[in-house]
């Protein structure tokens, strides 16, 4: 039997290429900011430079997870390796959270002392690190941002979130440098910028944890209402009733559902057409790419609450 993709592999090649771009750019940004951190003696640049290391680890983990998923299903993993993407995203979130929490401490100490802990800060070298980093990250974010929204899994969203917040962090470094150029005695601003960056990293991890938890606990995905799905199915031609409806996701781009659908009595071929119409409806309106329906046929005019026959008509496998 031919295997249907159900949208799982949409834009897979572009996603993997985008991750390669993100990995290369992160390596370059790490080198640029490492040099800038040493020469500028800036805590804020140091935080951002070190934060590139877990970013690089996170992007590589995302690439490995997506590459494993792209290999498709096996007899042992009939849905493929989609859950690897979720575990990679949760690992990313933990690394980001830890980085932010660790660097918040020296930033607070710097604010309390009113100066930096490593000596006078050179704003020129902050600019030398921040400007190319801003352009590199912005270019990677634009590239990945062109991937269709529905094709983005949790890993791609985590990478985009990384890059978007990294652009904000680079902008924070620019503000830090500009402030010090205008007011050289205000060295506390560098610690303040480092604390802002640490706060951004902590905040960045929250939606990643939430998204991963939603998938692993098999909650109904955000943006989908079971009652709305049931109402839409119930309004389809030949449908009398919808019950035992379940919606969950293996990863954010592979949303699944099952449902029992009571329909007018019909032939097997007519039931197959009804099933195909229902599958197309939930995919187009709700992004549910793997739907299985069990049709319960009941004679016209019957008021019985139990079906007279129960032929199974399921969505594509």
d(CA 54, CA 97): 10
Say if residue 241 is exposed, middle or buried (CB neighbours under 10 Å; 0-12, 13-18, 19+).
middle
Question: Which strands, in side-by-side order, build the sheet including 254-264?
Answer: 239-251, 254-264, 288-298
DSSP per residue over 240-280, as a string? EEEEEEEEEEEETTEEEEEEEEEEES--HHHHHHHHHHHHH
CA angle 242, 247, 250 (to 5 degrees): 155
The whole-angstrom distance between residue 39's C-alpha and the CA centroid of its chain comes to 35
The CATH superfamily assigned to 226-298 is Cation efflux protein, cytoplasmic domain (3.30.70.1350)
The helix/strand/coil state of 298 is strand
d(CA 179, CA 228): 52
Q: How far is CA 213 from CA 51, 83, 93, 221, in A?
A: 24, 12, 11, 11
Domain ranges of the chain: 12-216, 226-298
d(CA 146, CA 187): 40
User: What pLDDT is attached to residue 305?
Assistant: 44
Architecture field, domain 12-216: Up-down Bundle (1.20)
**Tokens at 105, concatenated:** 């401490």
Burial 49-77 (b: 16+ CB within 10 A, else e): bbbbebbbebbebbbebbebbeeeeeeee
Instruction: Please list, in sequence order, all residues whose beta carbon lies within 8 angstroms of the beta carbon of residue 173, skipping any fewer than 6 positions away.
Output: 42, 44, 45, 48, 126, 129, 130, 133, 193
pLDDT, tens digit (0-9, with 9 covering 90-100), for 61-79 = 777 766 766 666 666 665 6
Q: What are phi and psi of 179, to 5 degrees?
A: -60, -45
Q: Which residues of the chain have pLDDT under 50?
A: 1-10, 303-317
Q: How far is CA 1 from CA 4, 6, 115, 202, 275, in A?
A: 9, 15, 69, 47, 18
User: What pLDDT is attached to residue 74?
Assistant: 60
Beta strands 254-264 and 239-251 are: antiparallel
User: What pLDDT is attached to residue 22?
Assistant: 80
The helix/strand/coil state of 216 is helix
């Amino acid at each position: 039997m031919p295997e249907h993709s159900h949208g799982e592999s949409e834009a897979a090649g572009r996603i993997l290429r985008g991750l390669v771009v993100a990995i290369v750019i992160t390596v370059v940004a790490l080198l640029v900011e490492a040099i800038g951190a040493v020469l500028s003696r800036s805590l804020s640049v140091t935080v951002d430079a070190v934060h590139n290391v877990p970013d690089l680890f996170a992007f590589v983990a995302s690439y490995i997870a997506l590459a494993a998923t792209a290999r498709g299903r096996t007899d042992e993993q009939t849905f493929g390796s989609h859950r690897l993407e979720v575990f990679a995203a949760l690992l990313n979130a933990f690394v980001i959270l830890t980085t932010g929490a660790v660097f918040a401490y020296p930033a607070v100490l710097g604010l309390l002392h009113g100066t930096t802990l490593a000596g006078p800060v050179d704003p020129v070298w902050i600019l030398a690190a921040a400007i190319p980093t801003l352009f590199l990250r912005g270019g990677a974010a634009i590239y990945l941002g062109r991937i269709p929204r529905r094709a983005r899994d949790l890993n791609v969203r985590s990478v985009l979130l990384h890059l978007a917040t990294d652009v904000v962090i680079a902008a924070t470094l620019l503000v830090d440098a500009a402030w010090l150029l205008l007011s050289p005695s205000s060295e506390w601003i560098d610690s303040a910028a480092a604390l802002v960056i640490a706060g951004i990293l902590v905040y960045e991890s929250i939606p990643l944890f939430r998204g991963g938890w939603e998938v692993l606990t098999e909650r109904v995905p955000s943006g989908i209402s079971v009652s709305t799905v049931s109402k839409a199915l119930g309004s389809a031609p030949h449908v009398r009733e919808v019950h035992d409806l379940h919606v969950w996701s293996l990863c954010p781009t592979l949303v699944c559902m099952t449902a029992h659908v009571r329909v007018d009595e019909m032939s097997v071929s007519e039931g197959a057409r009804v099933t195909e119409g229902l599958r197309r409806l939930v995919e187009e309106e709700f992004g549910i790419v793997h739907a299985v329906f069990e049709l319960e046929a009941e004679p016209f005019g019957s008021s019985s609450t139990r079906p007279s026959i129960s032929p199974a008509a399921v969505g594509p496998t």
